[in-house]
Amino acid sequence: MITSEQLNEAREIVYASMSPTMQVPWPLLKEHTGVEVWVKHENHTPIGAFKARGGLVLMARRQQAGLTNGIISATRGNHGQSLPFAARQYDIPVTIVIPKGNSVEKNRAMEAFGATLIEHGGDFNEAFDHAVDLSAERELDLIGSFIPELVHGVSTYGAELFETAGELDTVYVPIGMGSGICSLIGIRDLMGLKTKIVGVVSNNANAYALSFKAGTVTATNSVNTFADGLAVRIPHPQALEIILQGAERVIEVSDEQIARAMRLYYTHTHNISEGAGAAALAGLMSERQQLQGKRVGGILTGGNVDMDLYQKVLSKEL
């Protein structure tokens, strides 16, 4: 998964452009849940999400290899911000394919970092298929959402968490395409810890939960969740293999539970989280009875939520 040498290289690259994010054992969350909850605040990176780390490592390695031509990828938002955020250091053109109806504010952020946006398809997987076609047509290098360079970059957040909080009993982490949970598994194993890693998905986008149960890639026909970072129909085979080997379980939560966790983050920590960012806390809340007296972590993966949607969450209209 990741070696000490790869981690040290990733840290050098990542910390040249951003500071480590904080991890906090919030007292009000402990009071509410009965569990010592360490929140890893990836909503505090320069793009408001953990994906910034992977983009920085990927672009640095491409520059080192002399690959400074244009790239193309597909995303619902945070991956699409990380690439142009990092690529602008090396004047690498970035094209991002987004599905129709994507987050307006994430789209604006991607463009502000310098990406060219192309709208296609009804969900992430359809957008990615179109990116594959365009990569050949326009002679652009295709960048997937799960490749080693991205995982190595993202692994720096797990190292920060465990070095500060120590060996936690369990860490809950949302699953989109899988770089977050796989990097966490890799760092846990590299550090020789016994921490259980639990993946969290939406019950309306549960391909990874179905695949974990079946032991093989199991796709869904559609995704219908406001937590766009979880809206994946087809798991990545390599990510699933790592999750099968290293995760304790993959659990499902409802959109209502995710919205409740977003409100809890606001009232108990005054932090804004997007839907995927709050999924880990929603998963933790669903299992809190079996976690009493434990030290537990939750990855707040991002805070990039549209204002109108967030207002509906806070007012319980969603």
Per-residue confidence of the chain (318 residues) as pLDDT tens digits? Answer: 799 999 999 999 999 999 999 999 999 999 999 999 999 999 999 999 999 999 999 999 999 999 989 999 999 889 999 999 999 999 999 999 999 999 999 999 999 999 999 999 998 889 999 999 999 999 999 999 899 999 999 999 999 999 999 999 999 999 999 999 999 999 999 999 999 999 999 999 999 999 999 999 999 988 999 999 999 999 999 999 999 999 999 999 999 999 999 999 999 999 999 999 999 999 999 999 999 999 999 999 999 999 999 999 999 997
Phi and psi at 92, nearest 5°, equal -95, 120
| One domain for residues 90 and 204 | no
Q: How far is CA 130 from the centre of its chain?
A: 22
| One domain for residues 229 and 256 | yes
Cα–Cα distance, 95 to 126 (Å, whole number): 16
What's the CA angle centered on 173, arms 242 and 17, to 5 degrees? 90
Note down the domain range covering 182: 4-50+148-314
Structural domain ending residue among the three candidates 118, 142, 166: 142
Q: What is the pLDDT of residue 264?
A: 98
Q: What is the pLDDT of residue 160?
A: 98
| One domain for residues 170 and 275 | yes
Q: What is the pLDDT of residue 24?
A: 98
| One domain for residues 137 and 168 | no
Q: What is the pLDDT of residue 318?
A: 78
| One domain for residues 275 and 224 | yes
CATH (domain of 39): 3.40.50.1100
| One domain for residues 177 and 78 | no
Query: In the structure encoding, which two tokens stand for residue 9, read together?
Result: 């290289």
Structural domain ending residue among the three candidates 120, 142, 164: 142
Cα–Cα distance, 123 to 127 (Å, whole number): 6
Q: What is the pLDDT of residue 58?
A: 97
> Tokens 């992430």 — which residue?
124
CA atoms in the 13 A half-sphere facing the CB of 126: 14
Question: How many structural domains comprise the chain?
Answer: 2
